Amino acid sequence: MRIRAFLASLVVVGIAVSGCGSGKPSAPGTGGGDGGAKSGGRVVMPLIADPGTMSPLMASSTAEVILARILFNGLTRLDADTFAPAPMLATTWEQSQDGLSWLFHLRDGVKWHDGQPFTAEDVKFSMDTVLDPKWKSSVGKNFASVKSTDVIDKLTVKFVMKQPFPAFPTYLANRFQVAPKHLLEGKDIANDTEFNKKKPVGTGAFKLAEYVPGDHLTLVANPDFFLGKPKLDTVIFKVLPDANTQIAQLKTGELDVVQLEPFNIPSVEGTKNVRLETGYKSKWWALHLNNDFPLFTDKKVRQAVAYAINRDELVKSVLLGHGQPAASPIVPLIDWAHNPNVKPYPYDPARAKALLKEAGWEDHDGDGIIDKDGKKFTFKLQVIKGNPTAEQTSAILQQEFKALGMDVSMEAYEFGTWVQEVRDTRSGPKMSQAYVVWMTPEPEPDGIYAYFHSSNAEKGSDFNVFRNQEVDKLLDEARTSADQGKRKQDYFRIQEILQDEAARHFLFYPEDIFAVKSNLKGIKVSEPYQYINDWYYQ
């Protein structure tokens, strides 16, 4: 007994010493490996920016969403392999026959970090809050179809819907985490610094121990977590805005997990004790041509552009192979709704040229640029500054389009300016023209509604102003139908139309890439944070 205590104190001293001063690789507190899974240890990860709030009801930035998913829980979470909704704070749920209400049965015995019991009241309070226009919560916009939330008993809650919404449990998983009513009722939800910045109280696997703004957040394991005490003791987020610094700290061993952009892979490869973990999410990159921009109103022109893109080459040179060519906005992982018959447009410049010729675009005056009725084919690729994937892809596309005789220039915008002057300027003389950007629809086929329904063409996520009555009708039907077979048919048809119309030019599905300490296991790349209780050191 005495020897064990002595050894334990040695370990403590060891950690304290290795944590002191020198920037040398410090052991993550696990000691040497003997092969098996061990509990304990700490993981240090970067966070690109400070969270403006830690309240899940107000979360919107990347940092805020990550923290909301660790400190708090939703009623459901997504299965990391199939993206199907799986139990979390709710154990079971059912939809009524008419699809107009959902009943959720909550897990018994769940406690908030302060020891208070979690109940249906908290769920109602949270849903009411995110839907209250007073708070302008960006969480609420995903749940516009919820009419009311009723507490049936302590552990049962009923959502009454305005219209059927079969995707509801999926949306709940990613976009809705429950906050404690007993701490927030009657408070200024948006500005309550005490809860939002200092002492967020959730049900999650980890709870906040310390937050030094601009520096780090320390999270410690919640021993009463309802899925069992997490295997790690501590999770530390360092606020590190610079990607190069993150990589340097990974190499020195100061960080254990870093998410990488493909172009950073070479600088990490060969680092000792670091391996790459990759996985797909519901994410695609596309070239957005404003369908209202005079050059692009012609379907033949849009199709010609589609044939002019070498997607395999983009995957190879921009993603360094970490991805696959894309053909549809419903990612292959959602296998029941992804239409396998819709294939990416093949790279066929000759076909592209022929289509342009059919549309009347030829180089009549011999200046190397195609023209029609005296007007030259001239447009701008409007690039977001500082995003290497967007910049590299745009540069390659520019070359490919130039080869067809198009006069393409590139113009770079700082992000905020780009949003306002390009993405959200969809009509008028300064309307957006063409840009490359990524999209992350909800991992449910209904996730594409926002991107292709014409009601989102003026405001909303139909950024390239695609309007198609048939697609609108199918999207509406599939959204509100409780019949999975019917929904599948609708989504298959939608993907065919999008393909034929060349509405958006899907480029590739990228992999998410994490560089991870070799002995750190259990990370699910597609949904890392909601499964953080499963991370462990070997």
Partner 1 sequence: MLRYTIRRLGASALVMILITMITFAIVQLAPGGPAILLDEQLSQQDRDDIRANLGLDKPLPVQYYRWAKALLTGDLGNSYMEREPVSHLLAQRLPNTLILAGAALLLAVAVGIPAGILSAARTHSWWDYSFTFLSVLGISIPTFWFGILLIILCSVNLGLLPSAGMYTLGAGNQVGDLLLHMVMPALVLALSPLAEIARYTRSSMLNVIKLDYIRTARAKGVVEYRVLFRHALKNALIPVVTVIGLLLPHLVGGSVIIEKIFAWPGMGRLAADAAFKRDYPVVMGITVVIALVVVAGNLTTDLLYGCLNPRIRWE
Footprint of partner 1 on this chain (CB under 8 A)?
15-16, 19-25, 44, 49-50, 52-53, 60, 136, 138, 141, 190-191, 193, 196-197, 212-216, 218, 236, 238-242, 244-245, 248-249, 251-252, 254, 414-421, 423-424, 459-461, 463
* Cβ pair 492, 471 in contact under 8 A: no
Q: How far is the CB of 146 from partner 1 (least distance, A)?
A: 16
Q: What is the number of alpha carbons within 13 Å of residue 54 lying toward its C-beta?
A: 24
Residue holding tokens 């066929």? 348
Q: Which is nearer to partner 1, 7 or 419 (CB)?
A: 419
Q: Which is nearer to partner 1, 77 or 197 (CB)?
A: 197
Q: Bridge-partner residues for 105, per DSSP?
A: 92, 156
Tokens representing 389? 């994937």
* Cβ pair 276, 384 in contact under 8 A: no
Which 3 state secondary structure label does DSSP give 292? coil
Phi first, then psi: what are they for 323, rounded to 5°?
170, -175
Q: How far is the CB of 53 from partner 1 (least distance, A)?
A: 6
Q: How far is the CB of 386 from partner 1 (least distance, A)?
A: 10
Round to whole Å and give the CA distance between 133 and 151: 21
Q: How far is the CB of 169 from partner 1 (least distance, A)?
A: 22
Q: Which is nearer to partner 1, 7 or 49 (CB)?
A: 49
| Residue of 57, 40, 77 whose CA lies nearest to 125 | 57
Q: How far is the CB of 355 from partner 1 (least distance, A)?
A: 32
Q: Which is nearer to partner 1, 79 or 233 (CB)?
A: 233
Q: Which is nearer to partner 1, 45 or 406 (CB)?
A: 45
CA distances to 356, 374, 403, 431, 479 from 408, rounded to whole Å, are 15, 17, 10, 16, 39
Q: How far is the CB of 197 from partner 1 (least distance, A)?
A: 7
Q: How far is the CB of 361 from partner 1 (least distance, A)?
A: 32
Identify the sign of the CA torsion 488, 494, 498, 500: positive
| Residue of 277, 416, 300 whose CA lies nearest to 352 | 300
Q: Which is nearer to partner 1, 416 or 428 (CB)?
A: 416
* Cβ pair 25, 15 in contact under 8 A: no
* Cβ pair 229, 213 in contact under 8 A: no
Q: How far is the CB of 206 from partner 1 (least distance, A)?
A: 16
CA 76 to chain centre: 17
Please tell me what DSSP assigns to residue 447: G
Q: Which is nearer to partner 1, 138 or 148 (CB)?
A: 138
Q: Which is nearer to partner 1, 203 or 382 (CB)?
A: 382
